[in-house]
A and B are shown apart, each in its own frame.
Chain A
Amino acid sequence: MELSREEEDLLKGARGEAVALAMKAVVKVGEALGAERLVPVRWAHVSGISYKNIGDAGLEFIEGLAERGARVAVRTTLNPAGMDLERWREMGVNAGFAEKQRRIVSALARMGVEPTLTCTPYLYGVVEPGDHLAWAESNAVLYANSVLGARTNREGGPLALFEALTGRAPFVGLHTDEGREAEVVVDLGGVEELAAEYPQAAGYVVGAAAGPRVAVAEGLPRLGRWGLKLFLAAVGASGGTGLVYLPGVSPEEPRIRGGAERVEVEKRDLLDVLGRYSGDVEAAVVGCPHLSRDEVEEIVRYVGRRGGVKRRLILFTARAAGLGDLVTEASRLGVEIYYDTCMVVSPLVGHLGGRVMVDSAKAAYYLSSQGFTVDLVSRRELLEYVVGGRP
């Protein structure tokens, strides 16, 4: 691989041994993937920070980097942790776990990382078309590439941290023009109405059809910003791709490779996804991906108009959403809100009896793989359920 003089210096330890290790990792991965050079990135988003997942080994590794003076070279944000950093007791998290989770976050903060603890970094900063990013977290990667026209691979947790420390990523895959050519066109024209009501089911079908390939989603109805979030999160759960062109939404014209496969989606495909995740539930959990402030407000207002909740409703969002007085209003109506974490990475659902309603196909996929019972519905149906409309 061709390295600049500055990159060679980093490799030799010009910014300390921790950054040298990070540089070595980025170069090794780049070589393995066939990259000929690295590309500077302007924003890294790091996943894999829940103590539940990375354990004492991960904790000590991250603290070790911080102790050896590692500092991030570019703006760096963090994915959700395993608990609300303040209200962890209410989530059923024990003190030992909480202490170690806090140590992980504070070591990262010492490196200069912003402890945003959200899977929707795209709501908390400006991304321009063509920007090179180093983002982990599949829904954020899909949103950045498909809606914002930025360029990032699905970098993965530890790799994104190394890219944050070096400010560089291998110039390969979705960073390049060739890597952004679609190999499959998924036609949703025949299921437009159903896809508008169930964007999460449509996304799940598109992800499964795409697999690791860049795709074009034709005939997608107008979903609005929040429907797109649910759609893309579902694509990321069922498939490995990091880019789905959305005609009318994506700032980029789709590049379609000659001989690309065409897949026509049928109503049955979406109904199969909804049918796969159904069952009796005891509570509703929303916020995968994290809700924006507007969404929280819309939900709280709806519940207010209907006289409060009859069944438990738990929302997940970022502390940076700045809810202010909405929190008081929500709590008066019986709506519970947690920050910094979500239903998938915290132990909360286990404490809810393990049977929950969701409007996110991504949450349905990961919660059911943890052995929980999940009912996947539209957001409208979910809200109707919590105010007592639907049994």
Chain B
Amino acid sequence: MRICGRPLVEGVARGELLVTGEPISFYGGVDPETGVIVEKGHELEGESVAGRILAFPHGKGSTVGSYVLLRLARNGVAPAGIVNARSEPIIIIGCLISGIPLMDGVELGRLVSGAYAEMVVGEEDACIELHL
């Protein structure tokens, strides 16, 4: 299955999908050293974002979250790619300065956690291919 959306930060990512219907606050919500989601009560609490293609509706919380994405990348535990329903500045800036491919405009209900996926974001288009 192939799903296309809006390209935001160019690049190619391959990895296992990790999908949530809840917004993510990277600042305070994700451990910058390990990549583990630590927000209390979050659907993905305890899961690691490292090397996964992470899909969530949009970012929330402090704009310092952009720097948390950069810290994750520096520590080698960043997501391989990010898919949003609708990206906002925290995630866009974070992905851009960290070199994490980003696309939005995707209906998250069509994505399945655990599936292997390949995401290609170019200048003009962005698609994610699921291998179910």
Residues of A within 8 A of B (CB): 21, 24-25, 28-29, 32-33, 47-48, 53-58, 60-61, 136, 154-159, 162, 369
B115 CB-CB contact with A under 8 Å:
no
Residues on the A chain within 8 Å of B9, using CB: 28
User: Are B70 and A57 neighbours in the complex by a CB distance under 8 Å?
Assistant: yes
B92 CB-CB contact with A under 8 Å:
yes
| Contact A61:B92 (CB < 8 A) given known A32-B8, A48-B63 | no
Residues on the B chain within 8 Å of A158, using CB: 63, 66-67, 93-94, 97
Residues of B within 8 A of A (CB): 6, 8-9, 27-28, 32, 62-64, 66-67, 70-71, 73-75, 86-90, 92-94, 96-97, 104
User: Are A156 and B96 neighbours in the complex by a CB distance under 8 Å?
Assistant: no
User: Are A157 and B73 neighbours in the complex by a CB distance under 8 Å?
Assistant: no
Q: How far is the CB of B72 from chain A (nearest CB, A)?
A: 8
Most A CB atoms within 10 A — which of B64, B88, B89? B89
**Separation of A24 and B97 alpha carbons in the complex (Å):** 10
Residues on the B chain within 8 Å of A155, using CB: 63, 89
Question: Which residue of chain B has its CB nearest to the CB of A59?
Answer: B67
Partner of B27, one of A29, A53, A154: A53
User: Are B63 and A47 neighbours in the complex by a CB distance under 8 Å?
Assistant: yes
| Contact A57:B87 (CB < 8 A) given known A32-B8, A32-B104 | no
Number of A-B contacts (CB under 8 A): 82
User: Are B90 and A32 neighbours in the complex by a CB distance under 8 Å?
Assistant: no
Question: Which residue of chain A has its CB nearest to the CB of B70?
Answer: A57
Q: A21-B97, A156-B66, A158-B66 are known contacts; what are 20 more A-B pairs with Cβ within 8 Å?
A: A21-B96, A28-B9, A28-B96, A29-B92, A33-B88, A47-B63, A53-B27, A54-B67, A54-B70, A57-B67, A57-B70, A58-B67, A61-B67, A61-B70, A61-B97, A156-B63, A156-B89, A156-B90, A157-B67, A159-B89
User: Are B64 and A54 neighbours in the complex by a CB distance under 8 Å?
Assistant: yes
Question: Which residue of chain A has its CB nearest to the CB of B27?
Answer: A53
User: Are B87 and A157 neighbours in the complex by a CB distance under 8 Å?
Assistant: no
Residues on the A chain within 8 Å of B32, using CB: 55, 57
Residues on the A chain within 8 Å of B96, using CB: 21, 24-25, 28
Q: How far is the CB of A11 from chain B (nearest CB, A)?
A: 13
| Contact A53:B67 (CB < 8 A) given known A28-B9, A28-B96, A32-B104 | yes
